[in-house]
Amino acid sequence: MSHVVTLPGLTVTTSSSSSSSSYPHIHSLTTTRLCSKVRVSAQFKSHDSTPIDFCDPDWKHKFKQDFQERFSLPHVTDIFHDTPPMPSTFCLQHRTPMVRDFAGSNPSKEWRGYINDNDRVLLKTIYYSSSTSAGAECIDPGCSWVEQWVHRAGPREKIYFKPEEVKAAIVTCGGLCPGLNDVIRQLVITLEAYGVKKIVGIPFGYRGFSDKEFSEVPLSRNVVQNIHLSGGSLLGVSRGGPAVNEIVDSLEERGINMLFVLGGNGTHAGANAIHDECRRRRYMVSVIGVPKTIDNDILLLDKTFGFDTAVEEAQRAINSAYIEAHSAYHGIGIVKLMGRSSGFIAMHASLASGQIDICLIPEVPFKLHGQNGVLSHMKHLIETKGSAVICVAEGAGQGLLQKTHATDASGNAVLGDIGGYIQQETRKYFKEIGIHADIKYIDPTYMIRACRANASDGILCAVLGQNAGIVASQ
């Protein structure tokens, strides 16, 4: 499944997080005789999924063109051709005076705070001279250098929404993630800086659009001033909810013409559908998505908000498991961390802690039983070190569990409890081989998810919130 993630200042078509975007599926590609058979990863396929023909001397140019198309930003003038631009109300009015302003210069002429529409950000910075170079990510067999650019986020000189005519709504959907409040806060502050007066929060995710018992939450700088000091979402979150038509009806009834959605792949599939429906109805709305995934599984993004906090917080659980395991005779600690389809949290937390003996992630299949299984390695650890600590990502080893086919209200598969399964199997195994083992299992998922963002995530959220607010009007 493919969906559009609209980042503040850039639109990215990604595969759904279930394809674990940083580990894209490999597709085979057969070329003509002159070119060798090569395999190309999904991220390097063209826009319409046709494989690249490397025998075409023009392939690089075509690849770049295709990449640019994928990353082109939709604009209100694509549909409402006559919308007049107006000078931005943002930076010039609300920036902090700079020292040189006091020296008598003309600030409006000197200030260089706007982004040019053609500013770009280079995505890849490593030049791999060969495909055999460690970690090489190559497009073609010769590992040619191909620039990949995306739009630079930031305030433009012209805007297309009059602040006094804007009613902005913010909605947070899916599961919690540290930093949601930080993004909401910065969004509100930025919109106010533009001069937007009507800003509301939609309670409990998309459900807030249809459920009559929830009313809009008026938002202002005063309301959001301290919300980043606690975790969760001021607005609440939910899974499932109304159909897209109902949401757009509600937008129209409420007169909302800027919608900010904070959420993951499901939320963005919804945002995309809302955008399409608004376009179909010719209802002028700016729909802005801020990607939220604590799992950090979005291709092209170095880090998503909440991930850093999750890794930091996960270490408390790992440390507790370690202490328990080391304080017991033949102690075994098992910690399950988030990561439906990717093991970034488990892997980073394990590396950072230095206390994990075995780290199991969804990207790497493993077996529990048998000669090279996890259990026999645990036995080895018990015999050699006296204890063992295991970190497992929630999506790891799902093939070992019985499938339930259960889904949550949003249609996501409900995963089996791999941590609990490993605990049970470990207990059985050590009993069978007659070795004492003291097993403790920790699942800190909700303790981690509900945390307040750490300083590094706080800054990331502020940047995202600000860019989301900025991109909406231009």
Ligand X SMILES: Nc1ncnc2c1ncn2[C@@H]1O[C@H](COP(=O)(O)OP(=O)(O)O)[C@@H](O)[C@H]1O
Ligand Y SMILES: O=P(O)(O)OC[C@H]1O[C@](O)(COP(=O)(O)O)[C@@H](O)[C@@H]1O
Question: Interface residues for ligand X in 193-252 (CB under 6 A)?
Answer: 205-206, 239-241, 244
Q: Applying CB under 6 A, does 4 fall inside the site for ligand X?
A: no
In the shown chain, the binding pattern of residues 243 to 282 toward ligand Y, with x for contact by CB under 6 A and - for none, equals ---------------------x------------------
Q: Applying CB under 6 A, does 270 fall inside the site for ligand X?
A: yes
Choosing from 140, 182, 295, 297, which is the catalytic residue? 295
Q: Which of 270/465 has CB closer to ligand X?
A: 270
Element spanning 62, H or E: helix 59-70
Q: Tell me how far, at minimum, the Cβ of 269 lies from ligand X, in Å.
A: 3
Q: Which of 389, 380, 381 is nearest to 422 (CA)?
A: 389
- HSE-up of 112 (CA within 13 Å, CB side)? 1
Q: Which of 5/187 has CB closer to Mg ion?
A: 5
Please tell me the distance from the alpha carbon of residue 473 to that of residue 471, in angstroms, as a whole number.
6
In sequence order, the β-bridge partners of residue 260 are 170, 288
Q: Which of 409/435 has CB closer to ligand Y?
A: 409
CA 299 to chain centre: 9
Q: Which of 165/408 has CB closer to Mg ion?
A: 408
Are 9 and 470 in contact, with CB atoms under 8 Å apart? yes
The count of residues in the chain is 474
Q: Quick one: what does residue 291 bind among ligand Y, Mg ion, ligand X, none, with the CB cut-off 5 to 8 Å set by partner type?
A: none
Q: Applying CB under 6 A, does 6 fall inside the site for ligand X?
A: no
Q: Tell me how far, at minimum, the Cβ of 458 lies from ligand Y, in Å.
A: 19
Q: Applying CB under 5 A, does 339 fall inside the site for Mg ion?
A: no
Please tell me the distance from the alpha carbon of residue 174 to that of residue 440, in angstroms, as a whole number.
30
Q: At 149, is the secondary structure helix, strand, or coil?
A: strand
Q: At 82, is the secondary structure helix, strand, or coil?
A: coil
- 368: tokens are 């529990």
Q: Which of 151/275 has CB closer to ligand X?
A: 275
Q: Which of 349, 351, 327 is nearest to 336 (CA)?
A: 349
Binding Mg ion (rule: CB under 5 A), the pick from 265, 342, 355, 387 is: 265
Q: Applying CB under 5 A, does 205 fall inside the site for Mg ion?
A: no
In sequence order, the β-bridge partners of residue 388 are 332
Binding ligand Y (rule: CB under 6 A), the pick from 19, 293, 296, 355 is: 293
- HSE-up of 70 (CA within 13 Å, CB side)? 24
In the shown chain, the binding pattern of residues 327 to 346 toward ligand Y, with x for contact by CB under 6 A and - for none, equals -----------x-x------
Q: Quick one: what does residue 340 bind among Mg ion, ligand Y, ligand X, none, with the CB cut-off 5 to 8 Å set by partner type?
A: ligand Y
Whether 249 is catalytic = no
User: Would you state the torsion angle of the CA atoms of residues 94, 232, 415, 211, taken in this order, to the nearest 10 degrees?
Assistant: -90
- 411: tokens are 């249609």
Question: Interface residues for ligand Y in 378-407 (CB under 6 A)?
Answer: 394
Q: Which of 3/45 has CB closer to Mg ion?
A: 3
Please tell me the distance from the alpha carbon of residue 172 to that of residue 203, in angstroms, as a whole number.
8
Q: Applying CB under 6 A, does 362 fall inside the site for ligand Y?
A: no
Question: Interface residues for ligand Y in 181-240 (CB under 6 A)?
Answer: none
- 72: tokens are 């082109």
Q: Which of 177/422 has CB closer to ligand X?
A: 177
Question: Interface residues for ligand X in 391-420 (CB under 6 A)?
Answer: 410-412
Q: Which of 81, 110, 84, 116 is nearest to 95 (CA)?
A: 110
Binding ligand Y (rule: CB under 6 A), the pick from 174, 236, 343, 362 is: 174
Burial (CB < 10 A; 0-12, 13-18, 19+), residue 455, is: exposed
Q: Applying CB under 6 A, does 264 fall inside the site for ligand X?
A: yes
Q: Which of 154/306 has CB closer to ligand Y?
A: 306
User: Would you state the torsion angle of the CA atoms of residues 450, 452, 457, 461, taken in this order, to the nearest 10 degrees?
Assistant: 90
Q: Tell me how far, at minimum, the Cβ of 247 lies from ligand Y, in Å.
A: 18
Q: Tell me how far, at minimum, the Cβ of 267 lies from Mg ion, in Å.
A: 8
Give how far Cα 439 sits from Cα of 320, 390, 417, 427, Å.
13, 11, 16, 7
Footprint of Mg ion (CB under 5 A) = 264-266
Q: Which residues lie near ligand X (CB under 6 A)? A: 173-175, 205-206, 239-241, 244, 263-267, 269-270, 273, 410-412
Instruction: Tell me which residues are annotated as active site.
Output: 295
For binding to ligand Y (CB under 6 A), which residues are involved? 174-175, 264, 293-294, 338, 340, 394, 408, 445, 449
